[in-house]
Amino acid sequence: MPSRKSKSDPAAGAATPVPAASVPASRVARATAATPTTPRPARPARRRPGAPAADDAPALDAARIIAAASRLLEDTGKLSMRALARELGVDPMAVYHYFPGKDALVAAVAGAGFDQVEAAATASRRARGWRGRLRVLARAYLDMARAAPALTRHLARAAPEDGSATQSAAAPDVALRFEALFLHAIRELDLTPARARACQHALVDCIHGHALAGADLPDGLWNAELDVLLAGMEALARTTPSR
């Protein structure tokens, strides 16, 4: 009969391995929680389609777009949103984020140029006499038209056939602003609305034609043409029926 192993036998004191299935779930959960994990990188915030990227925001704004559009229009004689986007080095949708289309952009370019015309005309409002005020307005607009002939051609093509400033599709803001300055300058003549509109568009046509003929024309010719227009307006005012 085999003898019993003594208590001093090393094999008798060996621990019996515990099956893996018998490890309590709580111990597994604590071990998993203690294991460090690598956090997932945060997803970049989604931006609205057409909005400029965050890194483009400081560099791209309406003023920069208008300046680039003015240069492109005068250099090439035409303007497109895609060509402008290439000039600016941005996606075309970034330009559309600021301006909904080409007409709105041309209106903004014309409006920026007309700011100087408006400033000069406003400064002359205290001048005595409608002739002096109208000369300042006409000269300021002539200087703008000479400096931007491509824009002037665009505005001349956009003029409505019936002479209504409010129907200009390309730059209605400029047309209305010029009309307000013109009517204020000639307020003493007391012309009927129809006659005032006819005089206004005769002056604008004269300015556009003189500007597009070239900057080399002598100022004496411009002054002579303007004198004829002013004399005609004065004669028209004398025959205006009382209202």
Is the domain of 139 the same as that of 93? no
For residue 234, pLDDT beyond 80? yes
Domain contains 204: yes
For residue 166, pLDDT beyond 50? no
Average pLDDT (204-227) is 88
Of 79 and 36, more confident: 79
Average pLDDT (222-239) is 94
Domain contains 30: no
**In whole angstroms, what is the distance from residue 100 CA to residue 88 CA?**
17
Is the domain of 165 the same as that of 85? no
Is the domain of 178 the same as that of 78? no
Is the domain of 146 the same as that of 212? yes
Lowest mean pLDDT among 32-41, 80-89, 130-139, 179-188: 32-41
pTM (two decimals): 0.70
Compute the mean pLDDT over every residue in the chain, rounded to the nearest whole number. 79
Is the domain of 185 the same as that of 84? no
Name the domain count of the chain. Answer: 2
Among 10-14, 31-35, 236-240, which range has the highest average pLDDT?
236-240
Q: Which domain holds residue 216?
A: 114-238
The string of pLDDT tens digits covering residues 35-53 is 555 555 545 444 444 444 4
Average pLDDT (163-168) is 43
Is the domain of 66 the same as that of 138? no
Domain contains 226: yes
Is the domain of 179 the same as that of 80? no
**In whole angstroms, what is the distance from residue 203 CA to residue 73 CA?**
25
Is the domain of 148 the same as that of 180? yes
pLDDT reported for residue 55: 52
Domain contains 29: no
198-202: list long-range contacts, CB under 8 Å, 24+ apart. Answer: 198/163, 199/229, 199/232, 199/233, 199/236, 200/165, 201/159, 201/163, 202/229, 202/232
**In whole angstroms, what is the distance from residue 79 CA to residue 67 CA?**
13
For residue 163, pLDDT beyond 50? no
Of 142 and 159, more confident: 142
3 state DSSP class of 39: coil
Strands (DSSP E) contained in 181-240 are none
Domain contains 2: no
For residue 91, pLDDT beyond 50? yes
Of 170 and 82, more confident: 82
Domain contains 96: yes
pLDDT reported for residue 43: 52
pLDDT reported for residue 124: 84
pLDDT reported for residue 213: 86
For residue 69, pLDDT beyond 60? yes
Is the domain of 82 the same as that of 129? no
Domain contains 87: yes
Contact by Cβ (8 Å): 121, 142? no
Average pLDDT (47-64) is 62
The string of pLDDT tens digits covering residues 102-154 is 989 999 999 999 999 999 999 887 777 999 999 999 999 999 999 999 999 98
**In whole angstroms, what is the distance from residue 120 CA to residue 141 CA?**
9
DSSP H helical segments within 12-101, as ranges?
A: 25-34, 62-76, 81-88, 92-96
Lowest mean pLDDT among 56-60, 91-95, 142-146, 206-210: 56-60
Is the domain of 166 the same as that of 92? no
**CATH number of 151's domain:** 1.10.357
Domain contains 27: no
For residue 228, pLDDT beyond 90? yes
